[in-house]
Amino acid sequence: MTALIVHGGAWDIPDNEVAAHKAGCLAALAAGWAILNAGGSALDAVEAAVRSLEDDPTYDAGVGSFLNAIGEVELDAAIMDGNTMLSGAVAAVQRVRHPITLARRVLESDYILLVGAGAESFAQSAGVELCSADDLVIDRERERWKAQQGQPGFRGRDAFRAAHDTVGAVALDAAGNLAAATSTGGIPNKLPGRVGDSPLLGSGLYADNESGGCSTTGWGESIMKVVLAKTVTDGLRQGAHPREAAQSGIRYLARRVDGLAGCIVLDRAGQVGWAHNTLRMAFAYQVDGQEPVVAIHQDEVA
């Protein structure tokens, strides 16, 4: 059995951005599915899917990411192998076009999380090409940044309705191994040095062959408090279907910390789940023998 699910953020995605979000998710699904279909690993599939989303300026990951309060990109990403439990993450990197690939190199090292300048030095020694920070900045984000100057800073929950376009993927390969990956530019106008849930194991992602895999998106400061991805995969371990585990994790986040988020889930059998308490979430999935499914709201595929 092979299965792959990807997401491109959970928020009030406006109607005029729906088509781009769906197209990007389908392209990422195709990139990851090609690897699974050729007998490749779940780890390679989630990396390829997330690289595709990082290349798409629609999303807040890689090129097109939000700018922080001083007008710079700072990117976070993480990847986890549910077979070996090896994991790699980077945070607050500025000159890396594909932070997920840098996270993969960290996974292959003796470390788990590298940040900022140290992560960029590691990139050079690990053969991950650096770009200029400006290469990742697009006009849409320069304009957003300009409009935010002089406005009150990040205001927590409400700011998250406006935009959060983090990307992620979870895969199950033919060998029965699960993997998860998440990549983000964080939140618009964030304080320099702010790190959210996305690169943190258990919050922004989790994968364990004994339970399942999950990637999350949403208000990081709420997701971290309930360790959302681990909470959801623990639900799988206790026998819940991925839909139930996802819904129960999101309900807990909403009830306990008034959080806002979405998540995608696969269990060991390749059953698919997702849930969000935002208006919309962009996601797409495919399982063996079936056509790809893409949606912007859970009712579309319920």
**Could you give the C-alpha distances from 221 to 41, 70, 190, 261, in angstroms and in order?**
32, 21, 12, 10
Closest to ligand ASP by CB, 181 or 187: 187
Q: Which value, to the nearest 10 degrees, does the dihedral of the CA atoms of residues 188, 192, 196, 199 take?
A: 110
The answer to whether 196 contacts ligand ASP (rule: CB under 6 A) is yes
Q: Evaluate the CA torsion angle 54, 167, 215, 182 in order and state its sign.
A: positive
Question: 286-291 long-range CB contacts below 8 Å, 24 or more apart?
Answer: 286/3, 286/4, 286/29, 286/33, 287/1, 287/2, 287/3, 288/1, 288/2, 288/3
Grouping H, G, I as helix, E, B as strand and the rest as coil, residue 282 is strand
Residue window 126-165: x/- pattern of binding to ligand ASP, with contact defined by CB under 6 A:
--------------------------------------xx
Q: Which of 166, 216, 231, 278 is catalytic?
A: 166
Q: Which of 197, 208, 234, 267 is close enough to bind ligand ASP by CB under 6 A? A: 197
- Kindly state the DSSP code that residue 74 receives in the 8-state scheme: -
Q: Which of 186, 213, 235, 242 is close enough to bind ligand ASP by CB under 6 A? A: 186
Catalytic annotation on 233?
no
Alpha-carbon gap, residue 285 to 29, rounded angstroms: 7
Smallest gap from residue 1 Cβ to ligand ASP (A): 29
Closest to ligand ASP by CB, 92 or 128: 92
Among 16-24, 107-115, 215-223, 230-238, which window interacts with ligand ASP (CB under 6 A)? 215-223
Alpha-carbon gap, residue 55 to 302, rounded angstroms: 30
Closest to ligand ASP by CB, 164 or 268: 164
Alpha helices in 62-152 (DSSP H): 99-107, 116-125, 139-148
Starting at the edge strand found earlier in the chain, the sheet holding 261-267 runs 205-208, 212-218, 261-267, 272-276
Smallest gap from residue 11 Cβ to ligand ASP (A): 7
Taking the CB of residue 228, how many other CB atoms lie within 10 A of it?
33
Binding residues with ligand ASP: total (CB under 6 A): 14
The answer to whether 187 contacts ligand ASP (rule: CB under 6 A) is yes
Closest to ligand ASP by CB, 64 or 220: 220
- Residue nearest ligand ASP, Cβ-based: 220
Alpha-carbon gap, residue 125 to 147, rounded angstroms: 38
The answer to whether 220 contacts ligand ASP (rule: CB under 6 A) is yes
User: Kindly report the CA angle at 107 between 234 and 198, in degrees rounded to 5?
Assistant: 55
Smallest gap from residue 144 Cβ to ligand ASP (A): 14
Residue window 30-69: x/- pattern of binding to ligand ASP, with contact defined by CB under 6 A:
------------------------------x---------
Closest to ligand ASP by CB, 22 or 268: 22
The answer to whether 184 contacts ligand ASP (rule: CB under 6 A) is yes
Grouping H, G, I as helix, E, B as strand and the rest as coil, residue 277 is coil
Positions marked active-site: 166
Residues forming contacts to ligand ASP in the complex (CB under 6 A) are 9, 60, 164-166, 184, 186-187, 196-198, 217-218, 220
